[in-house]
Structure 1
Amino acid sequence: MTDPETLRRRALDALTTARARTDLLTGCVDDGELTAQHSPLMSPLVWDLAHISNQEEQWLLRAVAGREALRPGIDHLYDAFEHPRATRPSLPLLAPAEARAYASDVRGQVLDVLERTPLEDGRPLVDAAFAFGMIAQHEQQHDETMLITHQLRRGPAALHAPEPAPAPDATGLPAEVRVPGGVFTMGTSNEPWALDNERPAHARVVPEFFIYTVPVTNGAYQHFIDDGGYRDERWWDPAGWAQIREHGIEAPLFWRREGGQWLRRRFGVVEPVPADEPVLHVSWYEADAYARWAGRRLPTEEEWEKAARHDPVTGRSLRYPWGDDDPAPAHANLGQRHLRPASAGSYPAGQSPLGVRQLIGDVWEWTSSDFLPYPGFVAFPYKEYSAVFFGPGHKVLRGGSFAVDPVACRGTFRNWDLPVRRQIFSGFRTARDGEGA
């Protein structure tokens, strides 16, 4: 068991890291940009800023510490279920200066609560600093949402980051990896900050299958486009075919063809689409259509997790593809260190025991699976985090993206979204059945 002081430091580090990123994302544009709605798909950045602090106040100051509300009457303004994103600009939101002051007030009290609260007192919300970890993850998830808003906003670049290093040995990698059939342990029961939909650990029998060593690249995806993939109904789920026809979709979001060349807009910069980078900003329907066109399929969620966590030597399910250690820069492209995916085949130190690469970071990967509860699922600490989204309407994404912080990314971490979503940092890899399937 981790000692309380180590837990306290870990929670403090996670909260501090998240707030530094929030400050970067909201401090690099002026107040007009903060209050503008850059797309009806997203909230104004100032809404996210205050929502982050409102959730922090509700869970850490009120639920954990039993304190009174700092700003009575604003909870409903920042309730994500009460107000759809498209309508949030019409609300009487806190102005940027007020939102920053609120965030500062909340955080100041939270640090006091963290210092004073016993972290192993028998309360599930507090044990192992769970509530503090949950709030750090929540803030980082909204930081990724705000980064999506930055991608959607028009105008010159407001964010800058170094380029990822080129892949050292990508040309020598096998196209796909065999994953042996058999039982493996999916999910977790002992990861202290795992969220409810990752629990509990349970056995799954997964037949042998093959999975691509790396995510599908822009260059590979262009072959699908050039072969008329967006004009051939054979490859498309009926709802996806209706979607692309209705909206005239002919390529990933932010792509355009000019002078015989594909260009993309990326955080205010227009550039040629790099062929060796994982494809980004594709919907589940587009990923599924490409897989069908290629004579393959999307992996199921359990296949993806087995490829990422199964160690065939020990039979264990690892925390991450590379082992049980927390992510380091050599393992994966995480934490907004770069503003793009690294080229396919990068991060050899982060590959799984079976040799599959980039399962963590770079791009969220669509799976074929609906978002459903695991056997024995219990909603905690509130059903609105996961339970209300279960069902066939949402598809599971795994692995995280370059925009995900390590605190909100694990081998067991589950993301989900509507199959039409394209503004998210989503890509995919393909799979096929094994010989004996």
Structure 2
Amino acid sequence: MTDSATPTGSAPEGADPEALRQRALAALLTARERTALLTDSVDDQELTAQHSPLMSPLVWDLAHIGNQEELWLLRAVAGREAMRPEIDGLYDAFEHPRATRPSLPLLAPAEARTYAAEVRGRALDVLDGAALDGGGPLVRSGFAFGMIAQHEQQHDETMLITHQLRSGTAVLSAPVPPAATDAGGLPAEVLVPGGPFTMGTSTEPWALDNERPAHVRDVPGFFIDTTPVTCGAYQAFIEDGGYTERRWWEPGGWEMVREHELTAPLFWHRDAGGWLRRRFGVTEEVPANEPVLHVSWYEADAYARWAGRRLPTEAEWEKAARHDPASGRSRRYPWGDEDPSPELANLGQRHLRPAPAGAYPQGQSPCGARQLMGDVWEWTSSDFLPHPGFSPFPYREYSEVFFGPDHKVLRGGSFAVDPVACRGTFRNWDLPVRRQIFSGFRTARDL
């Protein structure tokens, strides 16, 4: 293992192991509260049902969360014997595709809850005694605990997607996000000057392997949209025949459109009064000023071509989000180094929808772009590839097995992402056909 893959550096709170311990404890407790909300809000029948072949039954995610916590915090960190070794294969995401998981002898809801709770109790004891200022790379700076908190929050986002896909009445609710009070005066695009910047990180202690190491990229100047593309702008693409003009589409995207007879983003349908959408069990008008959601990479790319623009590369996106020309350094977040707060970004399932385009002025980046963090995952034009000097840690299956041209990179997080699993260097990836995820985009153009 190289230093580029090993978590190093200090947490935002500093090197104090007790501060690190409290940070890890808070992250684990926050994740478990959200897991409980997402699984306690439906009955056992819905927990064990498969609401879409694209997703696991919710009860699989629940036990998988506990199993991964046991594997890493109890076995790998603490060296304890397995609690339930016979279930490891059932909850191995690589052994069983999502579509087949309902046929497995999964733990029943009550048993899954008991197992996850027992693991958590023991894991907190391990955290209480861990030497976070020393030891191996799994323990140092609380990396393994931060990794598990991120893993649980990632599955919480997956479970929220399942909630969106399920039919039936609404079981989740949340207040509306803040308005965009000055959006009317914003420019359509902002300039990101050319030159080098530092991409990735070698110091963020809970950064995952694909975010490492920090390295310099020289990016020519470009323009990028001030905000994500809105539903209203995307409707113009639809009305202009966007889904019927082959010239806008990559071959794979055109094949997808034809095979599935696509005419709009997922969950949209048209009635006599205009476009409607289904959102967590509620049917409502599509809000014109909200970032478009549930579009595939192919749809984002086709819109950009239609608009005479393109999707930004991943390096362009990160430079727009992090680079501070005044200091020449890269920030942790678009607004600076401080952790996210409700005034800065729409994160953490605080709201069940994106905020209107132009919201969160305090969260804008140095170039003037807004909502680069939270609201919607943003597709980039880039394939998911390793940073120069990449080395897998602590296991190949998190990132390395996905590298290549099959997966496209998404950046920035969505309203469904918790702050612990979202930062300026965080990288997400998915197949270009995926639409059920909380994905949108913004466009760019050359100087």
Query: TM-score by structure 1 length?
Result: 0.99
Instruction: String of CA shifts for 1:332-371, please: whole Å, max 9, x gaps.
Output: 0000000000000000000001110000000000000000
Match of 1:307 in 2: 320
2: CA distance, partners of 1:261 / 1:124: 55
Post-superposition CA distance 1:37-81 (Å, at most 9, x none)? 000000000000000000000000000000111112100000000
Equivalence for 1:173:
186
Corresponding residue number in structure 1 for 2:5: none
Match of 1:67 among 68, 80, 85: 80
Quote the residue 2:412 is aligned against: 399
The 2-side partners of 1:374 and 1:164 are apart by 35
Matched, 1:338 2:357: no
CA distance in 2, matches of 1:74, 1:67: 16
Q: Distance in 1 between matches of 2:103 and 2:162?
A: 18
Number of aligned residues: 434
- Cα distance between partner residues in 1 of 2:133 and 2:176: 42
Hey, what's the Cα distance between the residues in 2 that align with 1:164 and 1:370? 32
Deviations 1:395-434 (A, max 9, x none): 0000000000000000000000000000000000000001
1:109 and 2:122 aligned: yes
2-side partners of 1:5 and 1:260: how far apart? 58
1:288 aligns with 2:301: yes
Secondary structure at the aligned position of 1:333 is classed as: coil
SS, match of residue 397 in structure 2: coil
Query: C-alpha distance in 1, partners of 2:99/2:380?
Result: 28
Q: d(CA) in 2 for partners of 1:164 and 1:223? A: 25
Shift of 1:122: 3.1
Aligned to 1:13: 26
The residue type paired with residue 18 of structure 2 is E
State yes or no: 1:182 paired with 2:182: no
- Counterpart CA distance in 1 for 2:159 and 2:314 is 27
Kindly report which structure 2 residues correspond to 1:424-435, keeping only aligned pairs within 5 A, or say none.
424-434=437-447
Q: Distance in 2 between matches of 1:353 and 1:236?
A: 33
Post-superposition Cα deviations, 1:161-182, rounded to whole Å, max 9, x if no partner, equal 0011211100000000000000
Match of 2:236 in 1: 223
- Structure 1 residue 370 corresponds to structure 2 residue 383: yes
Distance 2:232 2:112 in 1: 43
For 1:135-150, list aligned pairs within 5 A: 135-150=148-163
1:321 match: 334
* Runs of 4 or more consecutive aligned structure 1 residues displaced over 3 Å after TM superposition: none
Q: Please tell me whether residue 90 in structure 1 is matched to residue 88 in structure 2.
A: no
* Code of the aligned partner of 2:390: F
| Post-superposition CA distance 1:249-301 (Å, at most 9, x none) | 11000000011410000000000000000000000000000000000000000
Cα distance in 2, alignment partners of residues 72 and 355 from structure 1: 52
Distance of 1:122 and 1:5 partners within structure 2: 15
1:121 to 129, 134, 138: 134
Quote how far apart the aligned CAs of 1:120 are. 2.1
* Post-superposition offset of 1:314: 0.7
Alignment-mate amino acid for residue 267 of structure 1: F
Alpha-carbon distance between aligned partners in 1 of 2:219 and 2:410, rounded to the nearest angstrom: 18
SS at match of 2:398: coil
Q: Relative to structure 2, which stretch is displaced further, 121-130 or 420-429?
A: 121-130
Cα distance in structure 2, aligned partners of 1:150 and 1:265: 12
How big is each residue's C-alpha offset from its partner over 1:213-267, in whole Å with a ceiling of 9 and x where there is no partner?
0000000000000000000000000110001100001100000001141000000
The 10-residue stretch of structure 1 (256-265 or 278-287) with the greater mean CA deviation from structure 2:
256-265
Aligned equivalents of 2:249, 2:368: Cα separation in 1: 31
1:27 aligns with 2:43: no
Question: 1:370 and 1:292 mapped to 2: Cα distance?
Answer: 18
Name the structure 1 match of 2:64.
Answer: 51
After TM superposition, list the pairs within 5 Å mapping 1:380-399 onto structure 2. Answer: 380-399=393-412
Q: Secondary structure at the match of 1:366?
A: strand
The C-alpha deviation readout for 1:287-343, integer Å capped at 9, x for no partner, is: 000000000000000000000001011111000000000001100000000000000
Counterpart residue number, 2:207: 194
> Counterparts of 1:122 and 1:93 in 2: how far apart (Å)?
36
Q: Aligned-pair distance for 1:90?
A: 0.1
Structure 2 counterpart of 1:232, from 239, 245, 251: 245
Aligned residue for 2:191, secondary structure, equals strand
Q: TM-score, normalised by structure 2?
A: 0.97
In structure 2, distance between residues paired with 1:66 and 1:6: 24
Match for residue 411 of structure 1? 424
Matched ranges for 1:204-283 at <5 A: 204-283=217-296
Correspondence for 2:144: 131
TM-aligned CA deviation for residue 121 of structure 1? 2.2
**Structure 2 stretches lacking a partner, 5+ long:** 1-9
1:183 counterpart SS class: strand
Identity %: 79
